[in-house]
Structure 1
Amino acid sequence: MFITSPYAADLERVPVREGALGILGSTTRFWDYGDPDADTTLVLVHGFRGDHHGLEPVVAQLRGVRMVSPDLPGFGESTPMTEAAHDIDGYGRWLREFVAGLELPAGGRVVLLGHSFGSIVVSGSLATASSGVARPDAVVLVNPIGQPALEGPRGVFTRLAIFYYWLAAALPERLGFGLLRNRVIVRVMSMAMAKTRDASLRRWIHDQHDRYFSAFSDRRVVLEAFRASVSHDVSEYAARIPERTLLVAAEKDDITPIEAEFRLQTLFPDAELVAIPDVGHLIHYETPVSAAGAIERFLGESA
């Protein structure tokens, strides 16, 4: 049964165009929202196992900016990379080439936004870029992974996840692939992350995870990306990101506690942090209005 998004009406008012770029052997599909002639272009990078749909609730709330939201290679409708591994270095190269491939107008402002795993991809890409690579004007990280995954308040769940992905890799291809797409396990993950007490919103969140959380191309891609997600975090890159940065964190995040997010803020040369109450790792689903408000204020101040 299809469950209507609570943000559908807002999203319908945002014009959207579809496109594709060939990058590192991947046919990268992307969705181009908002005013194509806006002064500011926001390039969005979604989280692990998701695709561009996950950030659409935030897209629906933003006005006056152009928003380009690709599916990461190997996820959603984008094919895997054949010229790079699906790790932080590979995704970092991909992101730099994707932004360059958009051929954005000279003089416009470019802002990179990463959510969850996307926060590591964005940070790693910026921290390892060579001196001749064009850099963004500002950075936004939503639910940033601010410390090693095993140090989080639910480190035991991370260990269980590591075992789950290890088992998926150890099993024969068909069984391992089936385990990764097991609907019961996906639902357990979704229930663990959702904090809202709104029953209708929870049903929609679970439906979103049912629809898009298993939209990856093959077992190899998702295992490579998982290893990257638990082997790196934003804190190892923060000091090498001079751009003005906004951290949008959640007070009830089970992956990175809010205390670690405040420590993360101090590692950046120029960063501010907005803490959203009563939400966990699903800011983009549960509190997109608050997130968008913080982003719009930040963009206005950094213009």
Structure 2
Amino acid sequence: MDRVRLRDLLRPPAPPRDTRVLTGQPARVPVRRDVTIADPSSGARTALAVWSYGPVASRAGQPSPDLVFVHGFRGDRHGLALVADCLPEHAVHAVELPGFGASPAFPDAEHTVAHHAEALRAAVAGLDLSAPPVVLAHSYGTVVASHAVAAGMPAVALVLLNPIAEPALDASGSLGARALAVVARAYYAAAARLPERAARAVLGAPPVVWATTVAMSETGDRAVLGFTHDQHRRHFSSFASAGMLAEAYRASSSGTVLQAAAGLRLPVLLVAGVQDPMGSPAAQRALAEAVRAAGGTVELHLLEGVGHLLHYERPVRCAALVRTWLAGLARAA
């Protein structure tokens, strides 16, 4: 591993040309399909983009259920692509939430947790899968996915990477994390009041994207750091409008998985970074206990040396945990 140097933080290294250096697996190429859903407020028809990867490998004697992936705030299907590459035995369906990636914003509804959860439920139903999937989500996606499952979306199991276990403004990790949440909320609200072109310039300003990446990165690997910066530079501004993004930020900074824990009566795998500023180890343990108290089964893994970017910095480890956990569920069935 080529170690990160001080100058790499100021001037990010180039990303690797081949992501196999990060995953040990060839990159998978998804196929896009648009699933028609109803606007949660008006009922108007709209579409969600879903990117599907067919299985490219098999493991003898092990079932390989379909996986539905749900990205985080300001993300799209690219964010979890490395994890998909590391699980080649599974068909994967990466849903882009309304207003993110190739999915248009809701025509009428506000971009809230409840509305995003309803859109996810409708999208999964529209995929017409042969059996309920395993749902895997990261960051804000864990909030949306958990609320969707708690509201009745069929799923055989739930995998939450860096779950949002507590509201951003109440995060127990550090005073700095709470201060950053206050600043971020004001930043998105202010940008939404600007003309759209100016708002996009502010929200996608290279120094802002760079600073966000530096603040969230914990990796000591130059290849991982270069890949992370490149992904954020290319995809961090894939959103429909500044107004929609401000709505989604309000949802992401106030919604939590804990709010839906009482409805998670299924197997749940929680994987979080010990250094995650958006969810302290204590909050993750409390979330695990809440799921157990509700009647679900839960397995929690806290990974040292990583923060909120598990999907970039530990894709192989995350995939291995998912694979082992699913094999255990299959044996117990």
- Report the TM-score when normalising by structure 1: 0.92
Who is 2:66 aligned against?
41
Q: 2:263 aligns with which of 230, 237, 240?
A: 240
Percent identity for Structure 1 against Structure 2: 35
Q: 1:169 aligns with which of 179, 192, 217?
A: 192
Q: Provide, for residues 245-272 of structure 1, a one-character-per-residue CA deviation record: whole Å limited to 9, x for no partner.
A: 0001111101111121111100003211
**Deviation, structure 1 residue 13:** 5.5
Equivalences for residues 286-301 of structure 1 within 5 A: 286-301=313-328
Who is 2:158 aligned against?
139
Structure 1 position 63 matched with structure 2 position 68:
no
- Indicate the SS of the match to 1:68: strand
**Deviation, structure 1 residue 2:** 7.0
- Indicate the SS of the match to 2:158: strand
Amino acid at match of 1:217: A
CA distance in 2, matches of 1:6, 1:273: 31
CA distance in 2, matches of 1:171, 1:13: 39
Cα-Cα RMSD: 2.0
CA distance in 1, matches of 2:107, 2:235: 23
Who is 1:229 aligned against?
252
Are the structure 2 counterparts of residues 209 and 161 from structure 1 closer, same or farther at C-alpha, using a change threshold of 3 Å?
same
Are the structure 2 counterparts of residues 5 and 299 from structure 1 closer, same or farther at C-alpha, using a change threshold of 3 Å?
farther
Contact 2:14 2:226 in 1 (8 A): no
**Deviation, structure 1 residue 169:** 2.2
Amino acid at match of 1:48: F
Contact 2:275 2:304 in 1 (8 A): yes
**Deviation, structure 1 residue 26:** 3.2
Tell me how many residue pairs correspond in the alignment: 297
Contact 2:73 2:249 in 1 (8 A): yes
CA distance in 2, matches of 1:121, 1:220: 19
Equivalences for residues 133-212 of structure 1 within 5 A: 135-152=154-171, 153=174, 154-212=177-235
CA distance in 2, matches of 1:281, 1:57: 15
- Indicate the SS of the match to 2:53: strand
Equivalences for residues 73-152 of structure 1 within 5 A: 73-105=98-130, 108-129=131-152, 135-152=154-171
Are the structure 2 counterparts of residues 148 and 12 from structure 1 closer, same or farther at C-alpha, using a change threshold of 3 Å?
same
Q: 1:252 aligns with which of 267, 271, 275?
A: 275
- The structure that has the greater radius of gyration is 2
Amino acid at match of 2:255: H
Q: 2:237 aligns with which of 202, 214, 228?
A: 214
Q: 2:51 aligns with which of 31, 40, 61?
A: 31
**Deviation, structure 1 residue 8:** 4.3
Are the structure 2 counterparts of residues 170 and 18 from structure 1 closer, same or farther at C-alpha, using a change threshold of 3 Å?
closer
CA distance in 2, matches of 1:111, 1:54: 18
Structure 1, 182-191 or 42-51: larger mean CA deviation: 182-191
- Indicate the SS of the match to 1:262: helix
CA distance in 2, matches of 1:237, 1:34: 31
CA distance in 1, matches of 2:285, 2:18: 31
Are the structure 2 counterparts of residues 156 and 63 from structure 1 closer, same or farther at C-alpha, using a change threshold of 3 Å?
same
CA distance in 2, matches of 1:249, 1:139: 14
Gaps of at least 5 residues in structure 1 are none
Amino acid at match of 2:157: A
CA distance in 1, matches of 2:165, 2:19: 28
Are the structure 2 counterparts of residues 148 and 301 from structure 1 closer, same or farther at C-alpha, using a change threshold of 3 Å?
same
- Indicate the SS of the match to 2:133: strand
Are the structure 2 counterparts of residues 100 and 172 from structure 1 closer, same or farther at C-alpha, using a change threshold of 3 Å?
same
Contact 2:19 2:27 in 1 (8 A): no
Are the structure 2 counterparts of residues 280 and 6 from structure 1 closer, same or farther at C-alpha, using a change threshold of 3 Å?
farther
Are the structure 2 counterparts of residues 97 and 196 from structure 1 closer, same or farther at C-alpha, using a change threshold of 3 Å?
same
Gaps of at least 5 residues in structure 2 are 1-12, 39-44
Are the structure 2 counterparts of residues 5 and 148 from structure 1 closer, same or farther at C-alpha, using a change threshold of 3 Å?
farther
**Deviation, structure 1 residue 7:** 2.6
Amino acid at match of 2:53: Y
